[in-house]
Amino acid sequence: MKVILSGTLLRFVGYEREIEVEARTVGEAINAVEARHDALRNVLRDGSGAVRTTHQLFVNGEQVGRNGLERPVGRADVLEVLTAIAGG
């Protein structure tokens, strides 16, 4: 499946906007990206390991909640990790 990152997260994944990973769930997809770019983990997740509320997850354009990490995904699915807003 494809994981698309943008916004403030790009510099933590070497500006790789689209990343192909093997995953059965949303959580596995994120784990796979973090395995390639370990700097991502601390900015994407809070101390408990949950995705921070400042980032939103979408599968095929449909938003999944922060508790949606168990949601199954298939090879053709696209997971987007978006930053809604940043402070400046």
Chain positions contacting other proteins, by CB under 8 A: 6-12, 15, 17, 42-43, 46, 52-55, 61, 83-88
Minimum distance of other proteins from residue 25's CB (angstroms): 23
Our CB check for other proteins shows the closer of 50 and 72 to be: 50
Minimum distance of other proteins from residue 45's CB (angstroms): 10
3 state SS of 37: coil
Our CB check for other proteins shows the closer of 10 and 35 to be: 10
| Dist CA 15 CA 88 (whole Å) | 21
| Dist CA 47 CA 10 (whole Å) | 21
**Which DSSP category does 45 fall into?**
B
How many Å from the N-terminal Cα to the C-terminal Cα in the chain? Answer: 33
Our CB check for other proteins shows the closer of 31 and 83 to be: 83
